[in-house]
Structure 1
Amino acid sequence: MGQPTPTTRDRIVNAAARLFYGQGIRAVSVDAVAEKAGVTKRTLYYHFDSKDDLIAAYLEGRDQPNLAVFQRWYAEAEGSVDAKVKAIFDQLAKSARHPKWKGCGFLRTAAELAGMPGHPAIKAGVAHKQRVEDWLTHVLEADGIPDARTLGRQIMLLLDGGFAVVLLRRDPSYMETAGEAAAALIAAAARS
C-alpha cells in the first residue's frame, strides 16, 4: 500500500510550510500558498480562518517531527548522556551545512512576530520549545543527572543560541561549540 492521499488541508499546510520556511511568513502571501497548494484562495479560507491560523498550523505541523528527529539522533548516538546530547548539536551542525538550511522555523517566525506575543504561532512555538525542554529534562532525569530541570533549560538556551548564531554567521561550527558546552555542563552535573 502507498501513502494515503493528503487532504486538501494537508496540501495547504505543506505548501505553506515550504514557502514560509524558505521565504519567511511575512514575505509569503495567501495567494502564493493557495497557488502552490493547487487550490483557490476561497478553498484556503474554508480551511483556515486567517493567515495567522495557517502560520500556527505550519508550526504545529513541525512540532512532533522536529522533536522526533532530536529523539532519533539521541537514540542513535553512542556513549553516555553527554555524548548523546552533543550528537544532537553535531547533527544540527551537519543540517546547517545544507544550502537550503534556514535555521529554526519556530525562532524565525517568532522574530517576525516579535511585537505580537499573543499570536497563535508564538503560542505554537512556545509549546514546541517547552516540549523539547521537557524531553531533555526527562532524558537527564532518566540518567540520574541532578537538577535536570535547570540543566534542560540551559541546554535549550545553548540550542536556540546555536541556531541564532549559526544563522547570523553562516558558520555551523558554532552549533558544534554549543554542543561541547552542553556536554561539559552535563558531565559536570553528573560528577556533582
Structure 2
Amino acid sequence: MARSAEPTRQRILAAAYVLFRQRGYSRVSMDEIAAATRVTKRTLYNHFQSKDQLLAFVLEAQNELALAAFATFGDKLSGSPAAIIDGLFRDLAVWADRPRWAGSGFTRLVIELADLPGHPARAIARRHKALLETHLGDLLKRAGVREAHRCAREIWLLSEGAISLMLVHGDRAYAAAAADAAKRLLRSSSR
C-alpha cells in the first residue's frame, strides 16, 4: 500500500470503530463503512480484504490505545492495595457515567461473536483482557499483595461483572459493591 493511502486507511479504521461501537459488528455493513469514510467499496476492499479483517485491525488499534490508557491509569494507582482497588472501581464508575456508555467494547464484541470461536477478533479481545489482568497483577505485586496475579484474576472477574451489571441495570453502585468484594478478597488472601 502506498504511503499516501495511509490517511485513507486510518479514516476507514476510525469510521469502522465508531460504527461497530455504536451498533455492533453484525449490524454494520461494509457499504455503511464506505459511506461513512466517503470511499468506494473498491477502495475499502483494497485496504481490507474482508469485514472480519477490518474488525481485527480496528481491535488491534483500540487495544493499543486502551493499553496505553491503562498504563497511564496504572501510574495513578499506587499506595496500599485498598487504594489501588478504590481507584480502579471509582474510575470504572466514572467511565460508566459517561453519556452513551455501553460497557467494554471488547467484551460486547466477543459476546456478539460467541458462535465463532476461531474468529480473529476473539483472539485479540482475549489477549487484551489478559494483558490488563497481568498489568493489574503487577500493580498488586508492587503493593505487596501475596499471590498478586491470582488476586488480580479474581478482581478482574469482579471488574468485568461490575461492568456488565452496570450496563444491564444502569446502576453505578455495582462498582462500589465490587470494590468492597475485592478488598475483602485481598484481606482474606493476606491471612
Does the TM-score normalized on the shorter chain lie above 0.5? yes
C-alpha change, 1:180 and 1:72, in structure 2 (3 Å) is farther
**Alpha-carbon distance between aligned partners in 1 of 2:138 and 2:77, rounded to the nearest angstrom:** 17
Contact 2:141 2:148 survives alignment (8 Å): yes
Letter in 2 for 1:179: A
Q: Displacement, 1:75?
A: 2.4
- C-alpha distance in structure 2 between counterparts of 1:130 and 1:77, whole Å: 19
Quote the offset at 1:170 in angstroms: 1.3
What is the count of residue pairs matched by the alignment?
187
Residue 109 of structure 2 aligns with which residue? 109
Distance 1:78 1:144, change over 3 A: closer
- Structure 1 length as normaliser, TM-score? 0.89
Match of 1:161 in 2: 161
Task: Determine the C-alpha separation between the residues in 2 that align with 1:148 and 1:117.
Answer: 30
What's the C-alpha RMSD, in Å, of the aligned pairs? 1.8
What is the CA–CA distance in structure 2 between the aligned matches of 1:69 and 1:173, rounded to whole Å? 24
Whole-Å separation in 1 of the counterparts to 2:116 and 2:156? 22
Q: Is the Cα–Cα contact under 8 Å of residues 74 and 87 in structure 1 kept in the other structure?
A: no
Q: Give the gaps of 5 or more residues in structure 2.
A: 1-5
Alignment match, 1:172: 172
Q: Show the counterpart of 1:33.
A: 33
Give runs of aligned pairs for residues 22-171 of structure 1, distance below 5 A: 22-77=22-77, 79-171=79-171
Distance 1:36 1:42 in 2: 14
Q: Compute the displacement of 1:99 (Å).
A: 2.1
Instruction: Give unpaired runs (5+ residues) of structure 1.
Output: 1-5
TM-score, length of structure 2 as denominator length = 0.89
More divergent stretch after superposition (170-179 vs 66-75): 66-75
Q: 1:111 offset after TM fit, Å? A: 0.8
- Percent identity between the aligned chains? 39
Q: Is the 8 A contact 1:93 1:172 kept in 2?
A: yes
CA distance in 1 between counterparts of 2:65 and 2:29 reads 25
SS at the partner of 1:7? Answer: helix
Distance in 2 (CA, whole Å) between partners of 1:12 and 1:57 is 10
Which digits, 9 at most, give the CA deviation of each residue in 1:71-94, with x for residues without a partner? 333322564232123212211211
Q: Contact conserved, 2:59 with 2:124, CA < 8 A, in 1?
A: yes
List 4+ stretches of structure 1 deviating above 3 A.
none
Partner AA of 1:26 in structure 2: S
Deviation at 1:179, TM superposition (A): 2.2
